[in-house]
Amino acid sequence: MALLFVATVAFAVHHPRASKPLEAPSFNTFLCALDLLLPVASFGQEGAFNPAGRQQWFAAALIAVGWVLATTIATGITRTRPGQGQS
């Protein structure tokens, strides 16, 4: 949640440019941050806007953190309890 808040504030301070200005949806800082953090969901913000410079590195870090969090959650959900599935 803290990372989502920081990302929302970071994108609110400086909006990334639209990839296709005439076709891009209106920019939403919260949805953009959520779009980067959730690897399995798409809110249409990640592909419509191109962060540049430091913001591009920040966006890449958010994507990496999102994949780590998703993998950790999936592992926790599918984890086998000790003694189960063993002969």
Contact predicate 43/35, CB 8 Å: yes
Question: Does residue 67 have a pLDDT over 90?
Answer: yes
Q: Tokens 């962060």 belong to which residue? A: 51
In this predicted model, what pLDDT tens digit does every residue of 7-66 receive, in sequence order? 899 889 888 888 888 888 888 899 989 989 988 888 888 888 988 889 999 999 999 999
Look up the pTM and report it. Answer: 0.74
CB-based burial label for 55 (10 Å; 0-12, 13-18, 19+): middle
